Amino acid sequence: MNESRQNSSLSKQSQPDLQERTALDPSRGHSQKLLIQDLVENDREEHIESIRLGMMLSFGVGILNACTYVTRGHVFASSQSGNILYLGLDLAQGEFSNVTKYLFPPMMFAIGIIIAEHYKDKPNYPRWRQIPFWIEIALITLASFLPDSWNALANPIFGLATGLQTITFRKIRSTPVATIVITGSFQNLITHLTKFLTVHDRQDAFRTLVYAVIVLTYFMGIVIGAMLCPYLGHYTSLVSAFCLFLCTFIALPERYQLEEEDREND
């Protein structure tokens, strides 16, 4: 806490005051400049900033959605708006037998978000992202081995797993992204593309690229997942779990590296 207050105080120093201190003590002024520059360049405490990680996550979720829709009774693993849509249609048409089919996945999805937020807010968990990652892998693997007759249990488990992912990964280089649903990313893609074509701002160009990558990898995951379903059946979801497993080699070492750099800067 004291360290964060000190960093905040340094970053708020006025430029004239910094120049005056530099004139009196060049070495001190130079070190303060380096410290302020380091604070600006390393504003990354609560986010895993990796385009590769975002691509792998969105690709894996695309595969998972294709698998559950094709092999698990037309239920989406992460696109809860689709499940709620089907729930409303079934209620309107009197298909009450399908109520639990489309109701439980969104409910478990919400519970997944609550669990991830719990770990995120714990002060003694600087590496809190590890736990939801491994829980998600375990849940998807478990649900993958449930037979088709157990879809009523498997689909809510998938919803719980994807709910965890909504919190564990939310930014790429300070650009907010959602790797489990496509609507928001597609909307932001068009928005920042329009801004870039109008204003020609580099930040809008970068964000356009980020959202385009997320949308395309999600789409590729759906296509490949649907192509695998005739051969692997409901075990296709294991490919999604494998993608998450690969993500641990991207995310966790990167997190350790960031924390090691922070300790060295101290």
pLDDT digits (tens, 9 = 90+) for 16-73: 444 444 444 555 555 555 544 443 444 444 344 568 888 889 999 999 999 999 999 9
Residue 9 pLDDT greater than 70, yes or no: no
Mean pLDDT of the chain: 78
Residue 148 pLDDT greater than 60, yes or no: yes
Q: Which fold has domain 51-79+105-265?
A: Growth Hormone; Chain: A; (1.20.1250)
**Maximum CA pair distance of the chain?**
81
Answer whether 115's CB lies under 8 Å from 164's CB: yes
pLDDT digits (tens, 9 = 90+) for 178-214: 788 888 889 989 999 999 999 888 888 888 988 999 9
- Measured in residues, the chain has a length of 266
Does residue 141 or residue 131 have the better pLDDT? Answer: 141
In which residue are the tokens 């998807």 written?
140
In 98-236, where do the E strands start and end? 171-172, 175-176
Sequence spans of domains, the chain: 51-79+105-265
Instruction: Quote the pTM value.
Output: 0.75
Buried b or exposed e, range 9-26, using 16+ CB within 10 angstroms: eeeeeeeeeeeeeeeeee
- Angstrom distance (rounded) from CA 188 to CA 53: 19
